[in-house]
Amino acid sequence: MVLAGNHAGEDGGNLVDFRGKPVDKSRTGGWLAAGLILGTELSERICVMGISMNLVTYLVGDLHLSSAKSANIVTNFMGTLNLLGLLGGFVADAKLGRYLTVAISASITALGVTLLTLATTIPSMRPPPCQNPRKQQCIEASGRQLAMLYTALYTIAVGGGGIKSNVSGFGSDQFDTSNPKEEKAMIYFFNRFYFCISLGSLFAVTFLVYIQDNVGRGWGYGISAGTMIIAVGILLCGTMLYRFRKPQGSPLTVISRVLYLAWKKRSVPYPPQVTMLNEYYNSTAPHTEKLRCLDKAAIITTLKTSTVTQVEEVKMVIMLLPIWSTCILFWTVYSQMNTFTIEQATFMDRKLGTFEIPAGSFSFFLFITILLFTSLNERVFVPIARKITHTVQGITCLQRVGIGLVFSIIGMVAAALVEKKRRDSFVHNNIRIMAFWLVPQFFLVGAGEAFAYVGQLEFFIREAPERMKSMSTGLFLSTLSMGYFVSSLLVSLVDKATKGKWLMSNLNKGKLENFYWMLAVLGVLNFGLFLGFAMRHQYKVQNYVVGEEEMKQKDVEIETIDDEKKMVAIAKEKP
C-alpha cells in the first residue's frame, strides 16, 4: 500500500514564524491560527454580500438611476472584485507574501466600506428626493455624487480581491500536509472555510439587508465597516501563531520566461538523457513527461536557461487550465439564482399568511442549502467515502467539482419545469402558484455550489506550485467573473436570436424555460468535457494517505524512502 506525501521542502522548508525563523509546529499553525484567518474572509463576505444583494434598490430609489444602469454598476463591481483576485495573488506571490497582502487588503476594504457609509449618509451625496417618480422627472445623481460612490465600491473591490485570493492559501499554510494528522485536518479546512463565508452571506442577506431598508443605509454599511475593522484587529493579534511562507518572486516572470525560452529553443534537439537538463538533480518538483516541449527551456545552451523546477511549475499551471475552462459554466448557472429566479418570484404568490415575502429574500434558501451541505460533507459524506476508498480525502477535489456540475444541471431542469408550470397556470387558469415552488432549484444549485466551490478552491490551491498558490486562487476567482460575463453574453445572444421572445420583461409572455433548458444542455456537454479532462489529470501529489485509525486496525508500520526526490511512505505489514 503506497502512501505519498508532499516533498519535504515544499511543506516545511519554506515556512517560518513571525521572526523569520523555522517554524515550531507545536506552537504555530493548526485550527486556532486558521480560524483567526478565516475571520477575515467571513467579514469580507458580510461586507460584499451586504452591498451586492441590496445596492440596486439604493441606486434606483435614492440616486434615481435607471434599472439597467444600476444593474451594470453592481455586476461590474462584482466582476472587478473577482478579477482583481489575480492581481492580489500576483502581489502576494511576487513580493509581499500572503499575510501582509491579506492584512493590507482587509484594511483597504475597511476603508472602502467606511467611504461607502459616508457616501450613502451625507445628504449632499444624494440628489433631491423624488416623492412621486411616476408623475415627475426625478433628478439623477450627478457625476460628483457618483464619484464618491464609485471610489468607495472600487476601493472595496481592490481590498476584496486581495483577501479572496490569499486568505484560503494563507489558511492552508497552517497545515503541514506531510503530517498525517494535519493532512486530515486540512481536508476539513476548505469545507469549513466555505461554511464560514456562506454563514456570512446568510447574515448579510437577512440581518444587514433588513437594517439597510428599515433602519438606514448608514447603519447597515457602518456595521459592515465595524466588522471589517474588528477582523483586521483579530488577524493582527494572531501574528505570533501563524506559519508564514516566504514569497519566491514573480510567478508571471517565471511563466513568461519558460514559454519564451521553449519557443526560442524549439529547434534544439533534446539531450540523450533527461538528467542533462538544467539543475535536474536539484529540482524540488519531479520531472514529468507531459508537455515535453517545455523541457527545451531547460536545455543548457548559450542562451539563458530555465531550471527543471521552473519548467515543471509552468507545466502545473498549464495543466490547471482545462479544468478551469469547464468550471466557468457552473457559475453561469449560479448567476441565474440572482437574476431570473428572483424575477420568477415577482410573478408568483409570495404571501405567507398576511406577510408578503420580498422576492430577493428567497436567496435565503440558497444559502441555507449551502450551509446544510457543507455540514453534511464534513460529518456524513466524507467519513462514508473515506471508509469506502480507504483514503483520508474520501472525496477528491475533482469528484466534488463533478458532483457540483451534476447538481447544477438538475437544477436547471427543475427551473425549466417550474417555470413552465408557473406560466401555464397563470396564462390558462389565471392562477399564481406559490413562490415556494422555486425552492427545489435553489436547493439543487445551492447543493452544487457546496461541492463545486470547495472542490475548485481545493483543486487550484493543492495543484498549483507553492510559489504560485495565491495567483492560482485568483485564477479560480476568475471563473466566477467569467461565469457572470458568460451569462450576460448568453442572455444578449439568446435575446437577439429569439427576437426577444424567450426573455421578455413580462415573463408571462416569454419562454424563460427554454433558456433554462439551453443551460441544462450546455451543462451536459460541459460535464462531458470535464470528465475527459478530470480522468486525464494527474494530481501533483497523490495524497492517498491512510488514516491513523486505519493503520492501527491493519497493524502496519510506516517506512519512509527517497524515490526521485519525492517523499514516499510505504505501509508494510508487520512480519
Higher pLDDT among residues 464 and 445, named by residue: 445
Q: Tell me: do 245 and 255 sit in the same domain.
A: no
Q: Tell me: do 142 and 260 sit in the same domain.
A: no
Q: Tell me: do 230 and 278 sit in the same domain.
A: no
DSSP letter string over 51-97?
HHTTHHHHHHHTS---HHHHHHHHHHHHHHHHHHHHHHHHHIIIIIH
Across 343-347, average pLDDT: 79
- 109 pLDDT tier (thresholds 50, 70, 90): very high
430-434: long-range contacts (C-beta < 8 A, 24 or more apart)? Answer: 432/347, 432/348, 432/349, 433/348, 433/349, 434/348, 434/349
CATH number where 187 lies = 1.20.1250.20
Instruction: Say yes or no to pLDDT of 570 above 70.
Output: no
Q: Tell me: do 428 and 564 sit in the same domain.
A: no
Residue 199 in any domain: the answer is yes
Residue 7 in any domain: the answer is no
Say how many domains are in the chain. 4
Higher pLDDT among residues 443 and 336, named by residue: 443
Domain extent, residue 292, equals 251-311
- Rg of the chain, C-alpha, whole Å: 26
Instruction: Say yes or no to pLDDT of 66 above 70.
Output: no
| pLDDT score recorded for residue 563 | 37
Residue 474 in any domain: the answer is yes
Residue 1 in any domain: the answer is no
Domain end (from 311, 338, 358): 311
SS3 state at 184: helix
Q: Tell me: do 272 and 384 sit in the same domain.
A: no
Instruction: Say yes or no to pLDDT of 276 above 50.
Output: yes
Residue 14 in any domain: the answer is no
Residue 11 in any domain: the answer is no
Query: pLDDT averaged over the chain?
Result: 80
- 134 pLDDT tier (thresholds 50, 70, 90): very low
| pLDDT score recorded for residue 156 | 93
pLDDT digits 0-9 by tens, 440-456: 999 999 999 888 888 88
Domain end (from 311, 331, 353): 311
Task: Judge residue 143's burial from the number of C-beta atoms within 10 Å of its C-beta, 0-12 exposed, 13-18 middle, 19 or more buried.
Answer: exposed
Q: Tell me: do 223 and 287 sit in the same domain.
A: no
Across 90-101, average pLDDT: 85
Q: Tell me: do 31 and 143 sit in the same domain.
A: yes
Q: Tell me: do 376 and 429 sit in the same domain.
A: yes
What distances in angstroms separate CA 567 from CA 97, 302, 552, one per listed residue?
Answer: 26, 34, 22
Q: Tell me: do 228 and 286 sit in the same domain.
A: no
pLDDT digits 0-9 by tens, 280-320: 888 777 888 888 888 888 888 888 888 888 888 888 888 88
What distances in angstroms separate CA 139 from CA 66, 127, 135, 398, one per listed residue?
Answer: 11, 6, 13, 52
Q: Tell me: do 273 and 294 sit in the same domain.
A: yes
pLDDT digits 0-9 by tens, 412-432: 999 999 998 988 888 888 888
- 132 pLDDT tier (thresholds 50, 70, 90): low
Residue count of the chain, please give it: 575
| pLDDT score recorded for residue 567 | 35
Residue 10 in any domain: the answer is no
Instruction: Say yes or no to pLDDT of 131 above 90.
Output: no
Q: Tell me: do 177 and 261 sit in the same domain.
A: no
| pLDDT score recorded for residue 470 | 67
| pLDDT score recorded for residue 548 | 43
| pLDDT score recorded for residue 308 | 87
Phi, psi of 201 (to 5 degrees): -65, -45
pLDDT digits 0-9 by tens, 164-205: 888 888 888 888 877 777 777 776 777 777 777 778 888 887
Residue 2 in any domain: the answer is no
Residue 72 in contact with residue 47, Cβ under 8 Å?
no
Q: Tell me: do 516 and 551 sit in the same domain.
A: no
Domain end (from 281, 311, 341): 311
